[in-house]
Amino acid sequence: MKHIEGHFDARGLKIDLIVSRFNDFISSHLLEGALDCLRRHGARDEDLTVYRVPGSFEIPYLAARLADRKPKPDAIICLGAVIRGSTDHYQYVAEGMARGIQRVAMDSGVPVILGVLTTDTIEQAIERAGTKSGNKGADAALAAIEMATLFRQVSAKA
């Protein structure tokens, strides 16, 4: 039986990070966590590119563009925060963003990691951006490393 899985060595991986400016007081902490994690696992700054977009809804558009480039990035990490308000807008943004990111990943063959928080309150977002619940940006970076290294192994076997 064969057992293939990714590992956590980011050396040589080209990773793009897309970060929403909306709710920047949260997304900036997610970015810090992601970059710290990538560097701790061997990524070099010259292999990392950070892109800023207006809001989380715009993330999939840029992700699609980046995934179509030649050469393709090894992974794309999407970071932001969608916090529920008093209208239905939250629902439309969160669903559209998540579906868009999933579609880019499925259509492109590039691991596109959903590191966008969707929370009911600002307090929940703060907890997930580096306090009580850890930093979900760092978690997204770990997932990107693991998936990128797994994809490399699968491609090498093909």
Task: Round to whole Å and give the CA distance between 144 and 127.
Answer: 22
Alpha-carbon distance values, 18 to 27, 34, 76, 79, 118 (Å):
10, 11, 7, 6, 16
CB 8 within 8 A of CB 39: no
Q: What are phi and psi of 10, to 5 degrees?
A: -90, 5
Active-site residue list: 89
Do you know the residue count of the chain?
A: 158
| DSSP string over 46-70 | GGEEEEEESSGGGHHHHHHHHHTSS
Q: For the chain, how big is the Rg over CA atoms in Å?
A: 15
